[in-house]
Amino acid sequence: MCKGRFFKIPEHLLLMVTIKELFPVVHMAQHTENQQRFAVYSDIRNGNMLLRDVLLAVDDRFTIVPVSFQASELTNTVWGHFKSTSEHQMIYQVHGLGVDLDDLRQKYVLYSPLYERGQQLLREQGASCLARPEEMFFSEVERGEYKGPRFRRIR
């Protein structure tokens, strides 16, 4: 039974709980742009994924958790990275959207490589997925002669 409390701020319904009481850890995520590592918790009631920086994690304190924010159209989709070539396809499966419990405004796309070298790099880092800020995942890039989306949805 949930021992948390619900409260509302504009546009958000939040729940105050202790994380380890309700949510199992499903991934260890490596930030794509810095050395930050996240424990990724799953809210099995609604599919939300919750991130907490492993260096800041104190899972027995009360934490504010959004009740629902998941972008279900992202869950279990497949994307290609702009650096893919015909010889080296960089294809990723997106697990979904996660929110940073230490900054509820920050959302991350959680995804894993489907190609061997990417999977090997994750294993070497002790991570099971990558975390990229949502706005960066969907951003346009300009590198050399390429100008376009960082990731393209395949399916």
Residues 32-43: pLDDT tens digits? 888 888 888 777
Residue with tokens 């650096």: 83
**What's the number of domains the chain is made of?**
1
> What is the domain range of residue 68?
5-153
Residue with tokens 């619900």: 6
SS3 135: helix
* Full-model pTM: 0.73
Least confident interval from 4-8, 89-93, 114-118, 148-152: 4-8
Confidence of residue 132 (pLDDT cuts 50, 70, 90): very high
Size of the chain, expressed as the number of residues it contains: 155
Q: Locate 154 and state its tokens.
A: 């395949």
Strands annotated E in the chain: 5-9, 12-18, 25-31, 37-43, 48-53, 62-66, 77-81, 91-100, 103-113, 129-133, 140-143, 146-149, 151-153
